[in-house]
Structure 1
Amino acid sequence: MQTVIAFIIIFGSLVFFHELGHFIFAKRAGIMVREFAIGMGPKIFGMMKGETLYTIRLLPLGGYVRMAGEDVDQIELQPGYRVGIILNNDDIAEKIYLNQNVQHPNVVFLEVERADLEKDLFIEGYDEDEHMVRYSVSRNATIVENGTELMIAPVDRQFNSKTVGQRAMAIFAGPLFNFILAFFILMALGFLSGVPSNEPIISSVQDNSAAQVAGMESGDYVKAINGQEIDNWTELSGTVQENPGKPLNFIVERDGQELELVITPSTLEENGTEFGQIGVLRPIEKDPIKAVVFGATQTWDYTILIGELLGKLVTGQFSIDALSGPVGIYKATETVAQYGIFNLMNWAALLSINLGIMNLLPLPALDGGRLLFFGIEAVRGKPIDRQKEGMVHFVGIVLLMLLMVVVTWNDIQRFFF
């Protein structure tokens, strides 16, 4: 149960902040956001606030922000439609009912002759006395069909009416917010647990470790190894890891005196690679300024690390079997949760950065694919045909779903068979 809660909180937070980025910058650009959804598939919760429907959906496979004009979400009033129109005190249409009887003191029934709900905002047709009438339509008017209300989206509130820069920012903001979330998680981690110092000082020595056997103590300052001066913890750990099973001569300073210790690193193996370990921990500092710097540097380091791993995947150094889907992420979360909240926070930050990077890949249906089309539009000076772009994204969605099935099946085989 603990793993389920941790997974829901982590995955939900990553998706929420990703979609929040899209949402905020879409609203800043004046784009109408029809729905803000966490999850995919059937709706299990929905709340209408203003012009946006906020939903939680059944399948924890992502989320979306549905913007006006991105798809066919406008209802066209064709000639011959019989509609009921609710007028305000200025005889402006505020609500339009399609093909249903309406009981309201200000309702007007009309057989539509012409209507424009995007640019000129009007509707005209024949009333019950067969007189031609024309009404202006409010920018916030809604259309009601079969009990469902949909607010009209004037052309200036639609996604495709905005500049390339505004549209690109609304799309880029999703991955951007994943990096921002990772930064704040890692900064909070620095505040709460402290920031690892790069000073070559031994914070603690593990019981029965190579360092303890050789006589190393907490507080020892490592000055040199095998005659090579040690200036920071990175050099210390690097030297140890590169010399598994080989005796190393340490010069340490303790209580103002220099001591020589001979330590033979234990040999460990990971992914077929051997490395050394002597069983010591680095010092931790609690400093608000360093916590902020830690958040920024760790976010950058994790970004570079994931980028390198992605490059190896592209060049064939990693196989597709190395990828994990929701099942694999759940199992990894289960393992990490056993080591405490700080490790879980670090894992959440890593996942957030990973989500941001993956969404920026220039692949159809991903944010990066859409940004690629915006770049082409900026160079050409005109957009690519919407139908052709839509077809490319559709193919991309199908391929991504197939990849998700393959990855999920690999996860199931790896963990349950």
Structure 2
Amino acid sequence: METAIAFIIIFGSIVFFHELGHFIFAKRAGIMVREFAIGMGPKIFGMTKGETLYTIRLLPIGGYVRMAGEDMDSVELQPGYRLGIHLNENNEIDQIVLNQNKQFPDMLFLEVERSDLSKEMFIEGYDEDEQLVRYKVSRNAVINENGNETFIAPYDRQFGSKTVGQRSMAIFAGPLFNFILSFVIFLLLGLLQGVPTYEPVITTVVADSPAAQAGMKDGDLVTEIDGSPISTWDELSEEVRVSANEKMDFTVNRDGESLEFTITPNEVTAGKEKVGQIGVQYISPMEKNPVKALAYGAEQTYDTTLLIFTALGNLITGQFSIDDLSGPVGIYKVTEEVAQLGVYNLMYWAALLSINLGIMNLLPLPALDGGRLLFFLFEAIRGKPVDKQKEGMIHFVGIMLLMVLMVVVTWNDIQRFFF
């Protein structure tokens, strides 16, 4: 149960921030957002505020922000269609009823002759006296169909009416917010847990090791090796690694006293190499410093991004295979293991997943944010957009391929963890 809660919180937060990026920059561009959804599939909760429906959906495999003017969003009233209308005080249509089950006081009926609910904003048709009438449609008009209300989206509120830059930013903002979320999580880790100082302080001396035999103790701070200053653990580790079976003179600070030890590292096999070890373990001391926490957040975000890009490159070059990939099942199982290590490790895992989601979405593949950005790039170069039907077909094929990949990865996860 705890794992399920942790998974829902982590995955829900990552998806929420991703969609929040789309939402904020769409609203900044003046685009009407029809729905802000966390999850996919059947709706289990919904709340309308303003012109946006906020929903939580059953399947925790993503989310979406549905913007006006995308896909099949537009409403067209065909000639001969009979509908009900309500006029406001300015004699403009503010309610359009596409079925007659819902009645309004003073509701009028029209048989549509011509209409434009996007640019010119009017409906022309025959009233009950068979007179041809024309009414202007309010920019805030609502369409009621089978009990569902939808706001009219004037063309200047639609996604397609905005500049390439505005549309690109509305799409790019999703992955961008994933990187911002990761930075915030790493920053919080730096503030709450502290920032590693990487000082060469010996955490544990292994019994009967060269270090123990020489007289080293837990808490010793190494200041010099063979007369050369040592300021970080990485420097100490590298000096020992390349000095197998060679005598080394260590200067340490123990409770303010300077001591010297001569240690000969053992030679051990690490992979295909022979390296030196003196038998000590290390956990970096932590320092709580707000300024350093800011730097730590940025460094960790950058380093983790490079790490994921390296893994992605290995996948492309064949060093990893599709069998090494994990989907929701694999993420759940890892979350279960990480949850046992404490809240800080869960936070780190969440930051890693957030960056991973941001990078994956930026890949120039159909149906992903990166694929849409690629189409915007073509539009900027050509000076005109790609044909909507062609683009829609490419994205549809991309979605199908991603679904197939998801099924394959999920099956691999099931076999890996349950068989």
Question: TM-score under structure 2 normalisation?
Answer: 0.93
1:15 touches 1:63 (CA, 8 Å); kept in 2? yes
Tell me the equivalent position of 2:11.
11
Q: Shift of residue 208 of structure 1?
A: 4.3
Q: C-alpha distance in 1, partners of 2:359/2:186?
A: 17
Q: Shift of residue 121 of structure 1?
A: 0.7
Structure-to-structure mapping, 1:7-406, within 5 angstroms:
7-202=7-202, 204-205=203-204, 208=207, 210=209, 211-212=211-212, 214-225=214-225, 229-240=229-240, 242=241, 249=248, 251-254=250-253, 255-262=256-263, 264=265, 278-406=280-408
2:94 touches 2:138 (CA, 8 Å); kept in 1? yes
Letter matched to residue 252 of structure 1: T
Q: Shift of residue 230 of structure 1?
A: 2.9
Overall identity of the aligned pairs, in % = 66
Letter matched to residue 341 of structure 2: Y
Q: C-alpha distance in 2, partners of 1:239/1:282?
A: 18
Q: C-alpha distance in 2, partners of 1:263/1:280?
A: 19
Q: Which moved more, 1:174-183 or 1:317-326?
A: 317-326
Q: Shift of residue 70 of structure 1?
A: 1.1
The 3-state SS of whatever aligns with 1:316 is: coil
The 3-state SS of whatever aligns with 1:105 is: coil
Q: C-alpha distance in 2, partners of 1:43/1:243?
A: 60
The 3-state SS of whatever aligns with 1:281 is: coil
TM-superposition CA deviations, 1:8-35 (whole Å, max 9, x none): 1000000000000000000000001111
After superposition, the Cα gap between the structure-2 partners of 1:40 and 1:80, relative to the gap in structure 1 and judged at 3 Å, is same
Structure-to-structure mapping, 1:405-416, within 5 angstroms:
405-416=407-418
Q: C-alpha distance in 2, partners of 1:370/1:182?
A: 23
Q: C-alpha distance in 2, partners of 1:352/1:269?
A: 32
Q: C-alpha distance in 1, partners of 2:273/2:7?
A: 31
Q: Shift of residue 212 of structure 1?
A: 4.9
Q: Which moved more, 1:277-286 or 1:388-397?
A: 277-286
The 3-state SS of whatever aligns with 1:74 is: coil
Q: Shift of residue 132 of structure 1?
A: 1.2
1:266 touches 1:278 (CA, 8 Å); kept in 2? no
Q: C-alpha distance in 2, partners of 1:244/1:402?
A: 52
Q: Shift of residue 258 of structure 1?
A: 3.4
Q: Shift of residue 322 of structure 1?
A: 1.1
Q: Shift of residue 170 of structure 1?
A: 0.3
After superposition, the Cα gap between the structure-2 partners of 1:101 and 1:199, relative to the gap in structure 1 and judged at 3 Å, is closer
2:327 touches 2:410 (CA, 8 Å); kept in 1? yes
Q: Shift of residue 225 of structure 1?
A: 4.4
TM-superposition CA deviations, 1:173-198 (whole Å, max 9, x none): 00000000000000000001110003
Q: C-alpha distance in 1, partners of 2:273/2:92?
A: 74
2:214 touches 2:261 (CA, 8 Å); kept in 1? no
Q: Shift of residue 236 of structure 1?
A: 2.4
Q: C-alpha distance in 1, partners of 2:316/2:372?
A: 21
The 3-state SS of whatever aligns with 1:55 is: strand
Q: C-alpha distance in 2, partners of 1:109/1:25?
A: 39
After superposition, the Cα gap between the structure-2 partners of 1:412 and 1:239, relative to the gap in structure 1 and judged at 3 Å, is farther
Q: C-alpha distance in 2, partners of 1:195/1:184?
A: 14
Q: C-alpha distance in 2, partners of 1:303/1:40?
A: 27
Q: C-alpha distance in 1, partners of 2:249/2:410?
A: 48
After superposition, the Cα gap between the structure-2 partners of 1:247 and 1:33, relative to the gap in structure 1 and judged at 3 Å, is farther
Q: Shift of residue 5 of structure 1?
A: 0.9
Question: TM-score under structure 1 normalisation?
Answer: 0.93
Letter matched to residue 336 of structure 1: V
Q: Shift of residue 274 of structure 1?
A: 8.8
Q: C-alpha distance in 1, partners of 2:258/2:191?
A: 34
The 3-state SS of whatever aligns with 1:282 is: coil
TM-superposition CA deviations, 1:302-358 (whole Å, max 9, x none): 001111111011000111111110011111111111111111111111111111111
Q: Shift of residue 283 of structure 1?
A: 1.6
**Which runs of no fewer than 5 residues in structure 2 stay unpaired?**
none
1:225 touches 1:248 (CA, 8 Å); kept in 2? no
Q: How many residues align?
A: 414
Q: Shift of residue 395 of structure 1?
A: 0.8
**Which runs of no fewer than 5 residues in structure 1 stay unpaired?**
none
The 3-state SS of whatever aligns with 1:5 is: helix
TM-superposition CA deviations, 1:348-370 (whole Å, max 9, x none): 11111111111111111111111
The alignment's C-alpha RMSD in Å is 2.3
Q: C-alpha distance in 1, partners of 2:62/2:274?
A: 38
